[in-house]
């Protein structure tokens, strides 16, 4: 059996979302049409608006519909001379939720991965270099993921930043909270051992 | 045939569906293989920590299709910790293998050379001789072995390298890079201590690999050039 063209098109369009296959798309489409037309309308409106309006913050490259995102605009944060460099917008939220960091962010929107064709030019490193050259920051925190690619990215940025007389730090990696040593993989554990800190009672 | 455990390195991985990854592996017995692996979201089943490049793994590959299933993964030795330019060199090796090596061709020699190169890189040995040696081995594996005999036998002072023909003396003018005889002789004998020889070797390899890659540039090279 075939669906009418418009229904079919809706199903096909929904499949552009990650994790949505043919069946899921079908279920979503029917749910909107059968039960929640109002929600569907709202979704369509917001989606169109967001795709149209949302761009990158001029300073940190995070997603925003303004020129500067709310974090970069915040007057409180201007005085804290620390910049945290992360791979994606989700990382910003994660760090914000800890409440530990009050400074500004820089979002790379990816990591260096030569095989995927992502080079230094794709990560907005020219904007970053410009900001570092302005002398606004005393410290940068490299908070890229603890993967081989993330490590490469961190190292590349550290090399860029070296000439600007800035303190460069890297987030620690090791055993997660509530984790059990016996289940932690060897790579993580050797990192944890190599990066151990002196312990004051 | 019952699958057996073998040594492997992850060359590249990319996400597939929600909780899976497709990884390209260089294995000891089967050459380059693509495989699907469940990478998990919970802490205990998360294999992403293992599926990192430059970490020697014991893997069990199942399935008859070209795309295998990676059913068992264990770390066999400590991961090779590469830093800075040595890490970029590791990426360079991986990129060459991903782009040039065919799938499912047994290549135990190349595997051993790869592992040796990684181990030298992790010891922070000089990069260029390691890369040049690996490039020669890769050419052998791909069936483009370099024949240095004309360089020793013919009297010409310098030579061109022409793909599929090899080294030819510069009797006629060609629009190709020219290599000095003594440099090529040194490369043929693997005497790679002189800086000029290394430089010629680099240009020679770049010329050959450019041809093999249809002129598409290697991305890992960008990581090196930017810093200068």
Instruction: Give residue-wise pLDDT tens across range B94-117.
Output: 999 999 988 888 888 999 999 999
Shared domain for B67 and B88, answered yes or no, is no
Q: Which domain holds residue B53?
A: 6-75
CATH number at residue B23: 2.40.50.140
Q: How many domains does chain B have?
A: 2
Shared domain for B148 and B45, answered yes or no, is no
Domain limit, last residue, from B75, B110, B132: B75
CA-nearest residue to B73 within chain A is A185
Shared domain for B94 and B70, answered yes or no, is no
Here the ipTM equals 0.81
Q: Digits of tens for pLDDT over chain A (201 positions)?
A: 688 999 999 999 999 998 888 999 999 999 999 999 999 999 999 999 999 999 999 999 999 999 999 999 998 888 888 999 999 999 999 999 999 999 999 999 999 998 888 888 889 898 999 999 988 899 999 999 988 899 999 999 999 898 888 999 999 888 888 878 888 877 788 888 988 989 988
Amino acid A23: pLDDT: 92
Would B136 be classed as within a structural domain? yes
Give how far B219 is from chain A: nearest CA, Å.
5
Shared domain for B106 and B125, answered yes or no, is yes
CA distance B101 to A66: 47
Domain limit, last residue, from B75, B98, B124: B75
Shared domain for B91 and B133, answered yes or no, is yes
Write the pLDDT tens digit of every residue in B8-32.
999 998 888 778 889 999 999 888 9
Would B190 be classed as within a structural domain? yes
Write the pLDDT tens digit of every residue in B61-98.
888 888 888 888 888 888 888 888 899 999 999 999 99
CB contacts of B92 in chain A (<8 Å) are: 114
- Cβ neighbours for A152, distance < 8 A, ≥ 6 positions apart: A111, A112, B87, B88, B91, B223
CB contact under 8 A, A115 and B54: no
Which candidate from A121, A152, A187 shows the least CB-CB separation from B79?
Answer: A187
Shared domain for B176 and B154, answered yes or no, is yes
CB contact under 8 A, B52 and A147: yes
CB contact under 8 A, B43 and A183: yes
Shared domain for B11 and B35, answered yes or no, is yes
Query: Pairing state of beta strands A139-142 and A82-86?
Result: parallel
Write the pLDDT tens digit of every residue in B141-156.
888 888 888 888 887 8
How many other C-beta atoms are found inside a 10 Å radius of the C-beta of residue B178? 14
Would B120 be classed as within a structural domain? yes
Shared domain for B17 and B111, answered yes or no, is no
Would B140 be classed as within a structural domain? yes
pLDDT at B225 over 70: no
CB contacts of A179 in chain B (<8 Å) are: 43
Domain limit, last residue, from B52, B75, B98: B75
Comparing CA positions, the residue from B75, B76, B73, B80 lying closest to residue B35 is: B73
Shared domain for B110 and B199, answered yes or no, is yes
Would B1 be classed as within a structural domain? no
How many other C-beta atoms are found inside a 10 Å radius of the C-beta of residue A48? 10
The structure tokens 């979201």 sit at B41
Shared domain for B125 and B33, answered yes or no, is no
Q: List, in sequence order, every residue forming a beta bridge with A85; answer none if it has no partner.
A: A106, A142
Would B206 be classed as within a structural domain? yes
Shared domain for B58 and B90, answered yes or no, is no
Shared domain for B216 and B111, answered yes or no, is yes
CATH number at residue B139: 1.20.1440.120
Would B183 be classed as within a structural domain? yes
Backbone angles phi, psi at B224, to 5 degrees: -75, -45
Would B57 be classed as within a structural domain? yes
CA-nearest residue to B75 within chain A is A186
């Amino acid at each position: 059996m075939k669906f009418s063209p418009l229904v079919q098109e809706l199903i096909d369009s929904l499949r552009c979302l990650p994790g949505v296959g043919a069946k899921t798309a079908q279920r979503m489409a029917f749910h909107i049409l059968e039960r929640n037309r109002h929600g569907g309308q709202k979704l369509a409106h917001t989606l169109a608006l967001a795709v149209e309006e949302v761009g990158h913050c001029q300073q940190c490259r995070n997603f925003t519909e303004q020129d500067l995102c709310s974090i970069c605009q915040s007057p409180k944060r201007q005085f804290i001379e620390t910049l945290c460099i992360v791979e994606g917008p989700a990382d910003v939220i994660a760090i914000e939720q800890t409440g530990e960091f009050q400074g500004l962010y820089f979002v790379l929107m990816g990591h260096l991965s030569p095989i995927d064709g992502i080079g230094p030019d794709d990560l907005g490193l020219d904007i970053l270099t410009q900001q570092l050259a302005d002398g606004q920051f005393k410290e940068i925190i490299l908070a890229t993921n603890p993967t081989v690619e993330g490590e490469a990215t961190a190292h590349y940025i550290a090399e860029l930043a070296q000439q600007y007389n800035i303190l460069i730090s890297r987030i620690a990696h090791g055993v997660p909270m509530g984790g059990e040593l016996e289940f932690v993989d060897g790579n993580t554990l050797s990192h944890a051992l190599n990066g151990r800190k002196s312990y004051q009672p | 045939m019952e699958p057996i455990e073998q040594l492997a390195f992850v060359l590249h991985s990319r996400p597939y569906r929600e909780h899976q990854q497709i990884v390209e592996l260089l294995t000891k017995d089967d050459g380059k293989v693509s495989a699907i692996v469940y990478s998990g979201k919970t802490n205990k089943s998360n294999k992403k920590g293992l599926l990192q490049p430059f970490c020697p793994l014991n893997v069990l590959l199942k399935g008859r299709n070209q795309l295998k299933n990676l059913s068992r993964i264990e770390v066999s030795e400590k991961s090779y910790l590469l830093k800075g330019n040595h890490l970029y060199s590791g990426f360079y090796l991986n990129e060459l293998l991903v782009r040039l090596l065919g799938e499912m061709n047994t290549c135990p020699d190349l595997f051993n050379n790869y592992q040796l190169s990684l181990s030298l890189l992790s010891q922070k040995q000089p990069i260029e001789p390691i890369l040049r040696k690996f490039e020669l081995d890769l050419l052998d594996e791909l069936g483009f072995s370099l024949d240095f005999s004309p360089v020793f036998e013919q009297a010409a002072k310098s030579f061109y390298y022409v793909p599929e023909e090899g080294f030819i003396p510069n009797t006629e003018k060609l629009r190709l890079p020219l290599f000095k005889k003594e440099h090529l002789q040194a490369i043929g004998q693997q005497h790679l201590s002189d800086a000029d020889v290394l430089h010629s070797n680099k240009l020679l390899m770049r010329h050959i690999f450019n041809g093999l890659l249809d002129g598409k540039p290697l991305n890992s090279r960008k990581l090196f050039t930017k810093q200068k």
